[in-house]
Amino acid sequence: MVRKAVIPAAGFGTRFLPATKAQPKEMLPIIDTPVIQYVVQEAVDSGIEDILIISGKGKRSMEDHFDRNFELESRIVEKEEEALYNQLRHIENMANIHFIRQRELNGLGDAIYYARFHCGSEPFAVLLGDTILNSAIPVTQQIIDAYEQYGHPVIAVETVPHDKVNRYGIVGGEKLSEKVLRLTEMVEKPDIDKAPSNLAIAGRYILTPEIFPAIEQTIRGKGNEIQLTDALRIVLKQEDIVATIIEGKRYDIGNKLDFLKTTVEFALKRKEFAAPFAEYLKEIVKGL
């Protein structure tokens, strides 16, 4: 059973400067909800209530977001805004959320290594803190189901255009079913003509404790950082790793254009202003 989740969220977010000079990119809102809250909600919707967020310097606002604010709640109660009050209390009670700082930004593999004492001997989910996945069945639940079926680490993957495989971590392997592969290789941002497939790692994993000694053995790679993909290659030499082709859509909030696209799509899903916002977009398009 997968009971714990780890959310790496320690990066500087330099591509969003100056907005991220004093606040984490994970706290940038999609409409009125920070990105990190969507990620935590996915873990909770997948049955996980014990969550460790790997943060860093200048990320204190994430802790404050999931903490209780008595003064704000009192003001909301005075205004008799019950729905807003309930929304605030939901955020505070979503899960048991713990924080630990990654002292130096040494890569995703290093960030995961900080979770070794929290996770102990248990399997755990990893959800990247700057990636939102929208699906009928939470993607984390999908890969938990795969882990329970196969008993090996699981990587969520999605199909991407062949001409864009050099932007992602790409996997290759042999099919176990229509949606599941037994992996034989993982390549970080391969050349288009050398990619083993067009299946890209989608920012969600189920890992086992074997990842921690593998990280210890991992040599610094791209960007002089300890890459999780490199550590997983070590694990792959010791046991099977499977990949599940996810059902759902990934929203990578790592760059401004995708952030804008995500905001528009999520706005069109909000009942309170979907219709007038759609009309506004039509007017804008007409004027182009």
For the chain, give every domain's residue range. Answer: 4-254, 255-288
pTM of this prediction?
0.92
Three-class DSSP category at 270: coil
Q: Confirm if 204 and 127 have CB atoms less than 8 A apart.
A: yes
Three-class DSSP category at 167: helix
Total residues found in the chain within this entry: 288
Alpha helices of 171-255 — where are they, by DSSP H?
211-217, 228-236
Q: Work out the number of other CB atoms within 10 angstroms of the CB of residue 279.
A: 10
Long-range pairs, 181-186, Cβ under 8 A, ≥24: 181/157, 181/242, 181/243, 181/245, 182/240, 182/241, 182/242, 183/155, 183/236, 183/240, 183/241, 183/242, 183/243, 184/236, 186/155, 186/229, 186/232, 186/233, 186/236
pLDDT by 10s per residue, the chain, length 288: 899 999 999 887 788 889 888 888 899 999 999 999 999 999 999 999 999 999 988 888 999 999 988 888 888 888 888 889 898 899 999 999 999 999 888 889 999 999 999 999 999 999 999 899 999 999 999 999 999 999 999 999 999 998 888 888 899 999 999 899 999 999 888 888 888 999 999 999 999 999 999 999 998 877 778 989 999 999 999 999 999 999 999 987 878 898 999 999 999 999 998 999 999 999 999 888
Which of 284, 264, 275 lies closest to 30, judged by CA? 264
- Homologous superfamily in CATH for domain 4-254: Spore Coat Polysaccharide Biosynthesis Protein SpsA; Chain A (3.90.550.10)
